[in-house]
């Protein structure tokens, strides 16, 4: 899911009509980070703290991206 999000965000940075790809990429990042946080809450891995920190950081950045996108529209 994260690889697909990275692909969508890469396409959004290249194409002139980037809004649909940007929205799809950001929503995939939100979904993937929430999925990672839920998975770590149910079955913690040995590096749970790093995984939770990374997923939280991705969630914050993508939500900021959505807020910035809504402000610019």
Domain boundaries defined on the chain:
2-72
pLDDT of residue 33: 96
DSSP E strands, the chain: none
Kindly give the parts of the chain with pLDDT less than 50.
Answer: none
Query: Contacts for 4-10 with beta carbons within 8 Å, 24 or more apart?
Result: 4/28, 5/29, 5/32
pLDDT digits (tens, 9 = 90+) for 1-11: 889 999 999 99
């Amino acid at each position: 899911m994260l690889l697909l999000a990275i692909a969508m965000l890469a396409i959004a940075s290249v194409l002139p009509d980037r809004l649909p790809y940007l929205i799809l990429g950001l929503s995939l990042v939100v979904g993937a980070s929430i999925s990672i946080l839920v998975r770590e809450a149910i079955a913690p891995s040995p590096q749970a703290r790093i995984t939770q920190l990374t997923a939280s950081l991705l969630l914050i950045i993508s939500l900021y991206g959505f807020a910035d996108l809504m402000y610019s529209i």
